[in-house]
Amino acid sequence: MSVNQNNLELGATPIEPDNLVLRNRARKSAGLPGITQAIKHVIRHMHTRSFLKTSFSMNQKGGFDCPGCAWPDPDDDRSRLGEFCENGIKAIAEEVSKYKLDRVFFQQNTVSALRAKSDYELGKLGRLTEPLAYDRIVDKYLPVSWDQAFKLIANELIALQDPNQAIFYTSGRTSNEAAYLYQLFVRCFGTNNLPDCSNMCHESSGKGLSETLGIGKGSVTLQDIYEAEVIIIMGQNPGTNHPRMLTALEQCKTNGGKIISVNPLPEAGLIHFLNPQKPMRMLTGGTAIADLHLPVRINGDVALLKAIIYLLFKLDNSDGQCIDYEFIQKYTVGYDAFAKHIDDIDFAACVEASGVTENLIQEAAALLCNRQKVIVCWAMGLTQHENGVNNIKEIVNLLLLKGAIGKPGAGTCPVRGHSNVQGDRTVGIWEAPPEKFLEKLDEVYNTKMPRQHGFAVVDAIQDMHKNPGRIFVALGGNFLSAAPDTYYTAKALKNCGMTVSISTKLNRTHLIHGQQSIILPCLGRTEIDYQAQGPQFVSVENSMGIVHSSQGILTPCSDNLLSEVSIVSKLANETLVSDSIPWLSFMDNYDLIRDEIEQVIPGFENYNQRVRQPGGFYLPNGARERKFNTSSGKAHFSINELPNNDLVQGQYEMMTIRSHDQFNTTIYGLDDRYRGIHQGRRVVLMNSVDMELAQIKPFDEVNLVNNYNKRERIAERFKAVPYDIPARCIATYFPEANILVPIDKFAKSSKTPCSKRVIITIKKI
């Protein structure tokens, strides 16, 4: 690794050796190359016996839930060839690593030396095996007993003048049981400072959907995906980020459905799918996925949706061909104002702002016109914008016009990127909890929970940055690498009096830490959770609101790990000395936690019984039944202004993306096979005409610069790669480019950082 010690101290990732290779882009996804890659990961990182055991249990009823994305498993039969994808296998290979980080490793490596390792190298070091505390004198993490660790943390928490000086982050892998206990502990401690990874991803979806449909979750089921006549996939790359979604899309295509992809990049997964679970179909050429690709400009989505809606009104000609007036009349409010707004828009300006040609937009409108079963799926490409909430509300407008909510084959589908991010929010991980929820906690626990809303992620970082001495506890995740404005966030973490990480593996957040730093190693999903009353299982909620069990099957990689539930129980027990809640009994038997959840949260009736049913149970979903929990009791049309996407000379709009060898901040490898980019991650994907105009040649090294709010942010030494991307748009991988994402630029009302539209200039080196 090339090492600029100053930048590493500031939180930067090291610059990789110069091995970048460009190959042809893939036109088909999955298939034999996917199987080969998965096998390579297994051979490199896992014992064969562990692989065989896990592969028969992963995502099966009664098995363990993939720690990857939150795509649901089929309700009925599950494939005997394995109900997982290439990236699910990579996630398991990371967790069930045959390598371990023992105390000898930490004695041999200072934290400063570890910072020089890339995120990829850190991930490959193996599993954490015992609790560790940072020793400033030797600059090393050294072993500490569990008792000592809990005492150290509890003493610091108790010594705070105000509970709001502590911040408790949660990542989306955390189970319902651990998350519920954690929020209960944090609120009993006296704060609602519960930022979570949802703040950085689908918060805009939650806001937009709640305001319009009365529920912050999607409305569709897998069966709806199979039955849809048209599915629009916006700002989402399922081939890499939710690969088994392609199986569902294939089913939709087999049933005659049409698929429209909306994305600045033509992603391989949406072009053609070779389903490894259907060898015959794979060998006979697979399935073409998208019938129509709309190469929208970055943040051109509202303009595009408005242009499509405008054409639908024209095609309908008030005779109900395209528009479901009966549904609108019965179930919605705000239609007249919305129809007038669309009538008044400048169609040509919308077409131009979308970046898509009028012909393609007409094709999309024609596809939609006579079809009533419409689903829109989306991910971060829509939510991580200043107008992220409006993007979602405009999607709802389209669906309401089509009457495409609350009927088979139709509805909203925000696809979540981490396996239990939705469940964590359901069970109370929320910095802005509704009053009803707090009242219920008050009643059940005979106490008064804090009312003041806490910090979302961006607020938390700004608070830690401004105020030295905060305590930051992270239940999972790699906060530094996930968060925006890397140097700013790093300074915020270094400013803390104590940082605590509950983790399975070493990551960059452990290396950029507070005055004191403690790592508490926990069990992974695949491992058996032995407790006093026998092995326990946990439960999670997927993107479609199904709660189901997850039970590990492998012997834990170390005898000195605790489950997340045990860690939270013990920490609460140590911190809340005069508390009457029996924290330690929860960890002996997780049924007791589920009983508590059942008492507090609607929809969990008979939790312990229903979670034991094969496949779990669906949570209630008003939008699915056309019951809208809004101020009017109806679904709301909304009027969303076009965002101003103007650029001045020399500026580009940058979006951060994942490579195919990556899951969130975990870097599995250095190749992005589908995009033809190999052995290098520090790349900037550019339109070739833009490159010519800027006199930048392929492989030229450039610095990327953002100056938002008069603070200069520089991401150094990225290699230019010509790519099929709209003019003035560029794409870079995160976390490397997170340096450029301003902390103080986020979605209005949801506070989601604007990682998908960062204004930058490019400086040749």
Q: Which of 11, 14, 34, 68 binds ligand SF4 (CB under 6 A)?
A: 68
Is beta strand 538-541 parallel, antiparallel or unpaired with respect to 534-536? unpaired
Complex with ligand SF4: residue 371 or 416, whichever CB lies closer: 416
Tokens of 536: 């326990």
Complex with ligand SF4: residue 14 or 239, whichever CB lies closer: 239
Complex with ligand SF4: residue 212 or 539, whichever CB lies closer: 539
- Taking the complex as a whole, how short is the minimal distance between the CB of residue 574 and ligand SF4, in angstroms? 35
> Quick one: which of 386, 334, 393, 430 has its CA closest to 210?
393
Contact stretch for ligand SF4 (CB under 6 A) within 61-69, 527-535, 562-570, 642-650 = 61-69
Residues 6+ apart with CB under 8 A from 692: none
Residue 749 to residues 277, 335, 423, 752: CA-CA distances in angstroms? Answer: 42, 23, 22, 8
- Taking the complex as a whole, how short is the minimal distance between the CB of residue 69 and ligand SF4, in angstroms? 3
- Using an 8 Å Cβ cutoff, are 483 and 512 in contact? no
- Using an 8 Å Cβ cutoff, are 14 and 8 in contact? yes
- Taking the complex as a whole, how short is the minimal distance between the CB of residue 429 and ligand SF4, in angstroms? 20
Q: Which of 217, 244, 373, 756 binds ligand SF4 (CB under 6 A)?
A: 244
Q: What is the dihedral of CA 749, 751, 753, 757, to 10 degrees?
A: 10
Site membership for ligand SF4, residue 235 (CB under 6 A):
no
Tokens of 716: 């150094």
- Taking the complex as a whole, how short is the minimal distance between the CB of residue 169 and ligand SF4, in angstroms? 22
Site membership for ligand SF4, residue 242 (CB under 6 A):
yes
Complex with ligand SF4: residue 243 or 388, whichever CB lies closer: 243
Query: How deeply is 443 buried, as exposed, middle or buried, from its count of CB atoms within 10 A (0-12, 13-18, 19+)?
Result: exposed
Complex with ligand SF4: residue 417 or 433, whichever CB lies closer: 417
Cα-Cα-Cα-Cα dihedral sign, residues 612, 614, 616, 621: negative
- Taking the complex as a whole, how short is the minimal distance between the CB of residue 88 and ligand SF4, in angstroms? 3
Q: Bridge-partner residues for 713, per DSSP?
A: 706
Report the C-alpha gap between 186 and 149 in whole angstroms. 18
Tokens of 640: 């969303």
Complex with ligand SF4: residue 11 or 477, whichever CB lies closer: 477
> Quick one: which of 171, 195, 642, 172 has its CA closest to 386?
642
DSSP string of 662-729? EETTEE--S-BGGGTEES---EEEE-HHHHHHTT--TT-EEEEEE-GGG--EEEEEEEEEE-S--TTE
Complex with ligand SF4: residue 51 or 472, whichever CB lies closer: 51
Site membership for ligand SF4, residue 84 (CB under 6 A):
yes
Site membership for ligand SF4, residue 87 (CB under 6 A):
yes
**Binding-residue pattern over the window 192 to 231 for ligand SF4, x denoting contact by CB under 6 A:** ----------------------------------------
Q: Which of 66, 392, 441, 490 binds ligand SF4 (CB under 6 A)?
A: 66
- Taking the complex as a whole, how short is the minimal distance between the CB of residue 202 and ligand SF4, in angstroms? 15
Q: Which of 38, 85, 270, 538 binds ligand SF4 (CB under 6 A)?
A: 85
- Taking the complex as a whole, how short is the minimal distance between the CB of residue 97 and ligand SF4, in angstroms? 17
- Taking the complex as a whole, how short is the minimal distance between the CB of residue 24 and ligand SF4, in angstroms? 25
Tokens of 91: 């996630």
Residue 659 to residues 33, 672, 703, 737: CA-CA distances in angstroms? Answer: 16, 5, 20, 13
Contact stretch for ligand SF4 (CB under 6 A) within 47-55, 65-73, 372-380, 441-449 = 65-73
Count the helix, strand and coil residues of the chain and give each as a percent rounded to the nearest 5.
Answer: 40, 20, 40
Q: Give me the helix-helix angle, 176-189 and 564-575, nearest 10°.
A: 10
Report the C-alpha gap between 205 and 385 in whole angstroms. 11
- Taking the complex as a whole, how short is the minimal distance between the CB of residue 731 and ligand SF4, in angstroms? 21
Tokens of 102: 């023992």
Complex with ligand SF4: residue 551 or 640, whichever CB lies closer: 551
- Taking the complex as a whole, how short is the minimal distance between the CB of residue 55 and ligand SF4, in angstroms? 11
Report the C-alpha gap between 274 and 289 in whole angstroms. 10
- Taking the complex as a whole, how short is the minimal distance between the CB of residue 389 and ligand SF4, in angstroms? 26
- Taking the complex as a whole, how short is the minimal distance between the CB of residue 71 and ligand SF4, in angstroms? 4
Site membership for ligand SF4, residue 82 (CB under 6 A):
no
Which of positions 285-304 make contact with ligand SF4 (CB under 6 A)? none
- Taking the complex as a whole, how short is the minimal distance between the CB of residue 184 and ligand SF4, in angstroms? 28
Q: Residue 108 is which amino acid?
A: Q
Contact stretch for ligand SF4 (CB under 6 A) within 80-88, 275-283, 711-719, 750-758 = 80-88
> Quick one: which of 89, 426, 40 has its CA closest to 244?
89
- Using an 8 Å Cβ cutoff, are 671 and 661 in contact? yes
Contact stretch for ligand SF4 (CB under 6 A) within 213-221, 242-250, 437-445, 692-700 = 242-250
Complex with ligand SF4: residue 510 or 548, whichever CB lies closer: 548
Complex with ligand SF4: residue 64 or 189, whichever CB lies closer: 64
Complex with ligand SF4: residue 193 or 662, whichever CB lies closer: 662
- Taking the complex as a whole, how short is the minimal distance between the CB of residue 415 and ligand SF4, in angstroms? 10
Cα-Cα-Cα-Cα dihedral sign, residues 17, 19, 25, 28: negative
Complex with ligand SF4: residue 259 or 519, whichever CB lies closer: 259
Cα-Cα-Cα-Cα dihedral sign, residues 656, 662, 665, 667: negative
Q: Which of 71, 185, 189, 708 binds ligand SF4 (CB under 6 A)?
A: 71
Query: How deeply is 137 buried, as exposed, middle or buried, from its count of CB atoms within 10 A (0-12, 13-18, 19+)?
Result: exposed
Site membership for ligand SF4, residue 126 (CB under 6 A):
no
Q: Bridge-partner residues for 535, per DSSP?
A: 530
The DSSP code for 211 is H
Complex with ligand SF4: residue 217 or 306, whichever CB lies closer: 217
Residues 6+ apart with CB under 8 A from 529: 523, 535, 536, 537, 538, 551, 552, 563, 565
- Taking the complex as a whole, how short is the minimal distance between the CB of residue 70 and ligand SF4, in angstroms? 7
Complex with ligand SF4: residue 66 or 737, whichever CB lies closer: 66
DSSP string of 242-311? STTHHHHHHHHHHTT-EEEEE-SS--HHHHEEE-TT-HHHHHTT-EE--SEEE-PPTT-HHHHHHHHHHH
Site membership for ligand SF4, residue 34 (CB under 6 A):
no
Which of positions 689-718 make contact with ligand SF4 (CB under 6 A)? none
Is the bond preceding residue 131 a cis peptide, omega within 30 degrees?
Answer: no
Query: How many chain residues interact with ligand SF4 (CB under 6 A)?
Result: 13
* Maximum distance among all Cα pairs of the chain, rounded to whole angstroms: 78
Contact stretch for ligand SF4 (CB under 6 A) within 240-248, 405-413, 615-623, 637-645 = 240-248
Q: Which of 42, 69, 132, 398 binds ligand SF4 (CB under 6 A)?
A: 69
- Taking the complex as a whole, how short is the minimal distance between the CB of residue 253 and ligand SF4, in angstroms? 18
**109 — phi, psi (to 5°)?**
-130, 120
Which of positions 568-607 make contact with ligand SF4 (CB under 6 A)? none
Complex with ligand SF4: residue 80 or 436, whichever CB lies closer: 80
Contact stretch for ligand SF4 (CB under 6 A) within 81-89, 453-461, 511-519, 702-710 = 81-89
Q: Which of 11, 172, 195, 243 binds ligand SF4 (CB under 6 A)?
A: 243
- Taking the complex as a whole, how short is the minimal distance between the CB of residue 244 and ligand SF4, in angstroms? 4
Query: How deeply is 633 buried, as exposed, middle or buried, from its count of CB atoms within 10 A (0-12, 13-18, 19+)?
Result: exposed
- Taking the complex as a whole, how short is the minimal distance between the CB of residue 277 and ligand SF4, in angstroms? 11
Contact residues for ligand SF4, defined by CB under 6 A? 59, 66, 68-69, 71, 84-85, 87-88, 91, 242-244
